[in-house]
Structure 1
């Protein structure tokens, strides 16, 4: 229960020595004489003024506080006066509407528009295009423009990504085409090289065939017994310097190629020897003959008989010892030289 504060007791002690109308208090004094009038007893106005709220009304917090005070007083229901006086009953109006209004004020943030209202907040900022599209609310119009701009930016991003993908695909296709072209060119080059090699081999074979027509083996019915380069004490040089065709004595010996007889006669360890010099200067030595059929300075042709197989000189049996001296110099392998002319001993 609320109660009023008790009044402070005031006592005046009468002093017989003072005149009537003067009084002295316990703490102050002496009091002057007071004659009350209508003006002096009129209440003083404006002494306790309530300051005006800035902003044109009660703040939200003040409203809530007032509602709370009213609710507290309503809960008590009675106010108590000073001691010794009966309690005074206070009658309050129904506060349910005030409380609901306060709750709505707090929850809506002070908005005057009812909850769920479709009334636009403001039409400021609306353009002619917004109005043409049916927009009546500036916020909704701004939201629509922002969404449209976001969609436009997304379309640009998608277009850029698609363009990048297409560029990458085109680059990949170009690289693949280049690789395929390189492979095709390499394959064509390899085929061309192979064809050239085959053609060259064929031409060489034809050349040798034609050349073989102008070259022939020195004898027939023979057996190769010693080849070029074999080592042994039988030869003065320490190795065999020619190619031996073993055949019976008297077997015909023929000119391998056309040329001039430069020597024909005895040659010591070579026995009877005939030297045939070709047009390129190569000397062919036919050794160990049993007889000679040509003379020095004589021109012979391919396959012409120049002598017979024998066993004269340093030999172990009848055979033809053939040596090849290019340019009249040191001997070379007769086997390789004959094969180079298309012959196969």
Structure 2
């Protein structure tokens, strides 16, 4: 290997305080050669592009230190000022605490380590590993997925399935809630219908009970009245009824109820009262008027004879006269009229007698 030419003798520089104890020795120019420079090994790495920020920063820092030292010496030489003491920071603690570049995910395979391979060729680089595995998680690797795109697609599909499951669950939950609501409404409607039916049955039962109670009370009333009221004859035949039309009656219709019976048949007091009138009454023949306590007048007409006089008190069943054919008649009978409150207009004697518990 060829060597450089010998360096020429340096010009002697006068003694100066800035150059220390060897200021009497001559200066020589130093030209580095390939043999005098040992290749850098160990933790230092050489890259073709984009060198590490730490190495670049160290180089800049070193150049800055050299420039600062030189500038200080020149300033001292020119101004006679004392030298400036410069302390360099120890960056070994910082560099030692930094992680190895090859330990970073996806980076270690891109950097060659000369210390591991023992090679001194700075220009040799290791082939970069594919970056398709950068997005592969541990779970994906356990499932056998090694491609980042496939892993992403699988995660998207899984997310879509999860969202679909959530949507299906929401639909199912809504359907269940709707079914529960419908069942509750149907149950409420059935309960309401049952309550209405029960209420209707209770109302019907109550109405029936009330009607039964009224019938019973009426029966008791009629039974009690039956003891205090009686029919005017014991044996008879009804021949003409109330309101029947005919020319034989001066009013144009029949105003009472006719009980046909043989002449001399006894006539009884229907209820207790006072004899208001007893005598001849024209077309009515011999007539007896019995006044009750409530003012009702009972007229007995066409009698053959009378057994009472005005002002006399009678009780139920007393004989007050006998059947005859006096006045405007066609045969022997009792023409009975009922005048409530003494009114001139009478009412149907048959209905009045039934209301008093009497059966015709």
- TM (norm. structure 2) is 0.59
Deviations 1:86-134 (A, max 9, x none): xxxxxxxxxxxxxxxxxxxxxxxxxxxxxxxxx99444285x8777988
Alignment map for 1:114-129 (pairs within 5 Å): 121-124=132-135, 126=137
Give the C-alpha shift of residue 228 in structure 1: 1.2
Q: Give ranges in structure 1 of 5+ residues lacking alignment.
A: 1-118
Cα distance in structure 1, aligned partners of 2:309 and 2:131: 138
Counterpart-to-counterpart distance in 1, 2:214 and 2:134:
96
- 1:323 and 2:337 aligned: yes
* Residue of structure 2 equivalent to 1:344: 359
Q: 2:310 aligns with which of 281, 287, 296?
A: 296
Partner of 2:250: 236
Following the alignment from structure 1 to structure 2, what is the Cα–Cα distance between the partners of residues 133 and 162?
37
Q: 1:227 aligns with which of 241, 248, 258?
A: 241
1:336 is displaced (CA, Å) by 0.9
1:220 deviation in Å? 1.7
**May I ask how many residue pairs the two structures share in their alignment?**
226
Counterpart Cα distance in 2 of 1:248 and 1:122: 137
Distance 1:132 1:187, change over 3 A: farther
TM-score by length of 1: 0.61
Structure number with the higher helix fraction is: 2
The residue that corresponds to 2:164 in the other structure is 150
Matched, 1:178 2:225: no
CA–CA distance in structure 2, aligned partners of residues 249 and 153 of structure 1: 107
State the shift of 1:135 in Å: 6.5
Distance 1:179-1:135 versus aligned 2 partners, 3 A rule: farther
Instruction: Report SS of the residue matched to 1:279.
Output: coil
Q: Please give the root-mean-square deviation of Cα atoms over the aligned residues, in Å.
A: 2.2
* Closer/same/farther in 2, CA of residues 216 and 123 from structure 1, 3 Å limit: farther
Structure 2 Cα separation of the partners of residues 121 and 171 of structure 1: 60
Q: Does residue 270 in structure 1 map to residue 316 in structure 2?
A: no
